[in-house]
Amino acid sequence: MDIKLEKTTNPKEKPDEKNLGFGNYMTDHMFLINYDGDKGGWNNPRIVPYAPLEIEPNAVALHYAQETFEGLKAYRTEDGKIQLFRPDMNATRMINSNRRLCMPEMPEDMFIEAIKEVVKVDKDWVPSEKDTSLYIRPFMFTNEGMLGLHVSDHFLFAIILSPVGAYYENGIDPVDIIVEENYVRAVEGGTGFTKCGGNYAASALAQKEAEEKGFTQVLWLDGKERKYVEEVGSMNIMFVINGEVYTAPTEGTVLPGVTRDSIIHILKDWGIPVHEEKIAIEDLMEYGKTGELEEIFGTGTAAVVSPVKSLTYKDEKITVNDGKIGELTQKLYDELTGIQWGKKEDKYNWTVDIEE
């Protein structure tokens, strides 16, 4: 790719690395590339100053939500290097998302090259405080202006970057979760397995109502029988029952998380049985009452591993591990973050260096 570089003449002041939060600050530059059917596909790759985009009011994405995105991070290691974590998984997932949403598929090598190049330009934005990283948000949408419902031929792919802090400001904090009974996130044949903005728009009301009731997240049940657990807001979820780990299979309605896949690898490596199978919420509540449900944790790029303190379903509430982070949850968090920040040996070959 021949990427044109236009550097900012007005660099921003960097935020305090101790108070980054999540997604509050954007770096100086962004990557853009167009896809136009009538221009032979991908064209005009460029890194330009971060700025508002121009978009036609009748752009298809604004009306019919033809949009997909990804999320990954760049980590600064103790010796000052910058590394990515399994970016090939994000490339593949975006290809699958785009195929489902009738959008062009960006080849994996192009996706990774674009990420590396824009991170290199903004390398001084990769923070080095403990638990901080540079969040990378690739996204793509139809910028073609037309109100008719046709398959579009004009797209913009972009990558923006945001330095982010530790997800939990005061150390890992177990969360309260409510099982959603009224709304569904995904159905078989739908877009549940894709990372598309529409999925989030459809989930927002459930999230809002849960927050109003004092819960951090909702746990989604399957859309058909409302019987089996699927995932939480922006994380996959795992249950430790009698020393074995259970999580929903990724068969179309559940987002195939990179963190989920990594955790499954590590667990299997440790000799802990992992079951990717349907789990009925009624059974789970029973295991909660008998104490056989030992730990619950969510997995996702933002929080890595997120312990769950309690589960509320039909006005019944079970508390897990006395509301404290479980031993296995903590161990997984330490292992995975250890690999990501280069403190532990990367025996799975998951990290990718960004050469400066």
Ligand X SMILES: *Cc1c(COP(=O)(O)O)cnc(C)c1O
Decide: is 300 part of the binding site for ligand X (CB under 6 A).
yes
Alpha helices in the chain (DSSP H): 60-64, 87-100, 108-121, 197-212, 258-269, 281-290, 327-340
First and final C-alpha spacing in the chain: 18
Q: Minimum Å distance from CB 257 to ligand X? A: 3
Q: Minimum Å distance from CB 255 to ligand X? A: 4
Length of the chain: 356
Q: Which of residues 184-213 bind ligand X (CB under 6 A)?
A: 195
Cβ proximity of 165 and 122 under 8 Å: no
Decide: is 294 part of the binding site for ligand X (CB under 6 A).
no
Decide: is 351 part of the binding site for ligand X (CB under 6 A).
no
Give the sign of the dihedral formed by CA 159, CA 160, CA 162, CA 167: negative
Q: Minimum Å distance from CB 70 to ligand X? A: 8
Q: Which stretch binds ligand X (CB under 6 A): 73-81, 171-179, 231-239, 305-313?
A: 231-239
- Shorter beta-carbon distance to ligand X: residue 143 or 299: 299
Decide: is 235 part of the binding site for ligand X (CB under 6 A).
yes
Decide: is 257 part of the binding site for ligand X (CB under 6 A).
yes
- Shorter beta-carbon distance to ligand X: residue 121 or 206: 206
Decide: is 309 part of the binding site for ligand X (CB under 6 A).
no
Q: Which of 47, 255, 318, 339 binds ligand X (CB under 6 A)?
A: 255
Q: Minimum Å distance from CB 14 to ligand X? A: 25
Q: Which stretch binds ligand X (CB under 6 A): 21-29, 228-236, 309-317, 333-341?
A: 228-236
Decide: is 258 part of the binding site for ligand X (CB under 6 A).
yes
Measure the CA–CA gap between 190 and 207, rounded to whole angstroms.
Answer: 20
Give the sign of the dihedral formed by CA 279, CA 179, CA 172, CA 353: positive
Q: Which stretch binds ligand X (CB under 6 A): 166-174, 251-259, 265-273, 308-316?
A: 251-259
Alpha-carbon Rg for the chain, nearest whole angstrom, is: 21
Q: Which residue from 23, 267, 48 is spatially nearest to 162, judged by alpha carbons?
A: 23
Phi, psi of 327 (to 5 degrees): -65, -45
Give the sign of the dihedral formed by CA 154, CA 62, CA 251, CA 350: positive
- Shorter beta-carbon distance to ligand X: residue 154 or 260: 260
Q: Which stretch binds ligand X (CB under 6 A): 23-31, 74-82, 129-137, 232-240?
A: 232-240
Q: What is the residue-wise DSSP string for 36-103?
A: EGGGTEEEEEEEEE--PPP--TTBHHHHH--EEE--EEEEE-TTS-EEEE-HHHHHHHHHHHHHHTT-
Q: Minimum Å distance from CB 107 to ligand X? A: 20
Decide: is 234 part of the binding site for ligand X (CB under 6 A).
yes
Q: Which of 259, 306, 340, 351 binds ligand X (CB under 6 A)?
A: 259
**Coil, helix or strand at residue 317:** strand
Decide: is 301 part of the binding site for ligand X (CB under 6 A).
yes
Q: Minimum Å distance from CB 339 to ligand X? A: 14
Q: Minimum Å distance from CB 4 to ligand X? A: 30
Decide: is 132 part of the binding site for ligand X (CB under 6 A).
no
Q: Which of residues 35-94 bind ligand X (CB under 6 A)?
A: 71
Burial of 354 by CB count in 10 Å (0-12 exposed, 13-18 middle, 19+ buried)?
middle
Total residues at the site for ligand X (CB under 6 A)?
A: 14
- Shorter beta-carbon distance to ligand X: residue 59 or 177: 177
Residue type, 121: V
Measure the CA–CA gap between 66 and 57, rounded to whole angstroms.
Answer: 14
Which residues in this chain contact ligand X in the complex, by CB under 6 A? 71, 195, 231, 234-236, 255, 257-260, 299-301
